[in-house]
Structure 1
Amino acid sequence: MNNFKHQQQEFLPISVNVTGKKLLIVGAGKAALSKVRSLRRFNVSITVIGIKIDPAFLEIDNIHIIHKSYDPSDLDDFFMVYACTDNRHTNEIIREHCHARNILVNLADNPRLSDFISPAVYQEEDLTIAVGSNGKNVKQSIMIRENIKKNSGPDLTGYLSLEKTSLNGEKNRDRSQKPFVPKVILAGFGPGDPELMTLKTHRYLLAADIIFHDALVDSRFLEHYPARKIAVGKRCGQHHIQQVEINQLLVSAALSGKKVVRLKGGDPLIFGRAGEELQFLAENNIDVKIVPGITSAFAAAAQYGIPLTHREIGSSVAFCVGHNIAERELPQASTLVFYMGARQQCEISNILIKKGWNKNTPVALISNVSNPQSKVVISQLDQLCQHPLLQETPLLIIVGQVVKKMPEFEEIAPRTEKKKKHIFAV
């Protein structure tokens, strides 16, 4: 007689190839949302079916949402199914329908009846660590995974090589016997929208002991990371810490053995003073790794559909600092993008016209790039001194004929203001 039904459930830890597979989530509440967020990093097609759709689903890209009640025919052609409704009886019915079609199913509210469960996963490149508890203690599994993240970090593959055997048969010394090498990560946060931060930066932040961050970085978002956060940002008119002090803080933290991340808005190598910090750290024998970020010029161009280069009218683009431009040599480019120029709009206008730019050259002023409160004002070069245009900071100024190629140019030019949420596909 088969007594498996009465035995304790055991789940075999295996890795399933889900590349290109179709996954179905039945239900659209908090439980379903959690499943979708954990599955999005895989190359799969995700479909969500539900009557009451959690608003957070609308902020997630690249998933299919169907607003309807469940029907057994919805299961057709799916590889795996997650039953995540708020009704246990409905979830069990879905399970029966899946078994009739030989489809693996997970019940969010009842691991005991599930064909599979999703362990707490930490992945670093090709290495994956899964922590499971046979579905009995999910919180403990997550806690263990988070400890692995914090204590191992981006160099996880190195930390797991403690018992490797060398060619002569002797075991390598463990990492506690290796010489200590102080290190700082210079990482870009991106233009403001946290979803535009790179996965590599995210992983370093998870592993960090201390995060030194700029003023333009969303401090509320940083609360997701367990590290100590120290604000060292410098905003126009609000300088509260000098660059030399920041340099010393980075060196001191690295030499103390801490995992240090210096987090900068945008890209660290574009007007981020990373060059100064890199040089100082190198002079003090601190190893440095740089992680690039999306600079605001690229984000603004994507947000408002402005091609920074165009085959017909713009063959080159240059990034310029917006202050003290009278003392600088302006680059020869079809499109100029000025950073930090909110207070120098008139000066930028006068100098460009003096250097031969047509006074009718279109200009786009964009504030709070990539954020929901972002605004754009379209004008022309000679108007920057005539009218109080967009003054909000941080402000980006794009000068060039390419501005005319933005989809809504004819609607909003000249000198009109339009609020627009970001439209990135990430």
Structure 2
Amino acid sequence: MSFLPISLNLAGKKIGLIGGGQVAAQKLKSLVRYSSNICVVAPEIVPEIEANPAVQCIRETYQPKHIDGLFLVFACTDSPEVNAQIQADCESRGILCNRTDDAAVSGFHSSALIETDDFVAAINSKNKEVKKTVLLSQEIEHFIREREQLLKQKEQLAGKVYLVGFGPGNPNLLSRRGEQLLFQADIIFYDDLLDHEFLARYRGEKHYVGKRRGNHSKEQDEINEVLYQAAQSGKMVVRLKGGDPLIFGRGSEERFYLEERGILVEFVPGISSAIAAASLGNIPLTHRGIASSVSFGTAHGKSSYKIPNSDTAVYYMGASHMHEIATNYLEQGYPDDYPVGLVYKASFPDQEVTRTTIGRLSRREIVAKSPVIGIFGNTVNYGEILKMKK
């Protein structure tokens, strides 16, 4: 790409549009926001241009004298030959020229502009794909204006803690509300398995407070206290949790601790790892005629190994205990071929889905890798069951 995106100072400089049709009128819409020293040269000029008080209209056929003293020129006629002549005349005088009919040979490109009270952003297409550029600029403009509005409201958010669910790990599954708060946060306390590179885009201080098996960066009491101290100092605090804050995320413990001490707390839901694992692993948690109930459990302690009274059971955080859970199923009279789905690193690029049975899992013929979601139930093989029913 040979075009350098830059901003030009137009103060005291004259701009020329050669051509008086709709193409020139469209160019004029953005130019008059930055300059009131514009001339339009054409034998015929549309009323939309003539009605603009910032424009000097010259009803003449183009001649080289018309570009004398101009800083920028837009060749907007409907004749490629005339536009080429305008460009050649500009180049001989050291004047930058934009040809609306041939972007590749132009001296400069016009950017799609996004203007707010505080700044101007410009979007340029390497391949001059106008439609895609406009759509992208509209999307960015919406995002910027929304973010600015949120930042203006930030004074109301100080001294408050937001318990935000990040989802299973893939940043694309973070809720819109969660991302808005991350942009505003003064300080972010985040869990394990979250995308560090993704978090780098946010300006707030980042503090890791994750807990993995046998490796706790901070105990829960310490996490509660650092959240309290940060909020008490007047900072806007985001406590970012994997999955959803209220599904094995200790969100209720943190809220209780903070509210007892007078700190305002708000929950922001996240996609639970179980829901993500089921969807992305193609293992429905319920299915008409196969399963109409589902339960969630952890596999940290012995009490978690009990078999729930549901058609489908989902176990979190239990890679090292999945064989014990499977053994418990066998002891409770479930058949050796009762299905199990193991979803490793749900939503990540290296996600793996393993379909097996409680027998194989109990005998350690299959070893679950951490982090894993274990799904026990006939929906794991729902496709085969439906084929058999046919």
What TM-score range do you get, normalising by the shorter chain?
Answer: 0.5 to 0.7
Task: Report the 3-state secondary structure (helix = DSSP H, G, I; strand = E; otherwise coil) of the residue aligned with 2:113.
Answer: coil
Shift in alpha-carbon separation, 1:240–1:181, aligned structure 2, 3 A: closer
1:43-58 map, 5 Å: none
Q: Secondary structure at the match of 1:264?
A: strand
CA distance in 1, matches of 2:121, 2:322: 60
> Of residues 156, 164, 173 in structure 2, which corresponds to 1:196?
173
What residue in structure 1 maps to residue 263 of structure 2?
Answer: 286
- Determine if contact 2:159/2:237 at 8 Å carries over to the other structure: no
Which is richer in helix?
2
Residue in structure 2 matched with residue 377 of structure 1 by the alignment:
354
Which deviates more from structure 2 when the two are superposed, residues 399-408 or residues 206-215?
Answer: 399-408
Identical-pair percentage:
36
Find 2:310's aligned residue among 333, 348, 365. 333
1:304 maps onto 2:281 in alignment = yes
TM-score normalised per structure 2:
0.64
Q: Give the partner amino acid of 2:114.
A: P
The 3-state SS of whatever aligns with 2:234 is coil
Q: 2:212 aligns to what SS in structure 1?
A: coil
For structure 2, list consecutive stretches of 5 or more residues without a partner in the other structure: 1-14, 19-27, 35-95, 125-141
The residue correspondences of 1:25-424 to structure 2 (distance < 5 A) are: 92-93=100-101, 110-111=109-110, 117-119=112-114, 131-132=119-120, 154=150, 156=152, 158=153, 182-326=159-303, 330-405=307-382
Distance change >3 Å, CA 326–CA 252, structure 1 → 2:
closer
> What whole-Å deviation, never above 9, does each CA across 1:209-255 have from its counterpart, x for those lacking one?
10000011111110011111000000011112100000000000000
- Return closer, same or farther for 1:134/1:404 CA change in 2, 3 Å cut-off: closer
What amino acid maps onto 1:300 in structure 2? A
Q: Distance in 2 between matches of 1:91 and 1:386?
A: 73
Q: Please tell me whether the aligned partners of residues 182 and 257 of structure 1 are also in contact (alpha carbons under 8 angstroms).
A: yes
Q: Distance in 2 between matches of 1:407 and 1:118?
A: 55
Q: Deviations over 1:338-380 (max 9, x none)?
A: 0011010121012222233333211011111111111111110
CA-to-partner distance for each residue in 1:134-168, whole Å, 9 max, x for gaps? Answer: 999xxxxxxxx999988x67474x46xxxxxxxxx
Aligned residues: 285
d(CA) in 1 for partners of 2:290, 2:173: 29
Change in Cα spacing, 1:394 to 1:328, as seen in structure 2 (3 Å) is: closer
The equivalent position to 1:9 in structure 2, one of 31, 42, 49, is: 31
1:409 Cα offset (Å): 11
Q: What corresponds to 1:57 in structure 2?
A: none
- Cα RMSD of the aligned pairs, angstroms, is 3.8
Hey, what does 2:11 align to over in structure 1? none
Change (3 A) 1:134 1:275: closer
1:176-210 Cα shifts (integer Å, max 9, x gaps): xx9x9621000011101110111110010000010
Supply the distance in 2 between the matched residues of 1:110 and 1:345 (Cα, whole angstroms): 61
Question: Is the 8 Å Cα contact of residues 308 and 317 (structure 1) preserved in structure 2?
Answer: yes
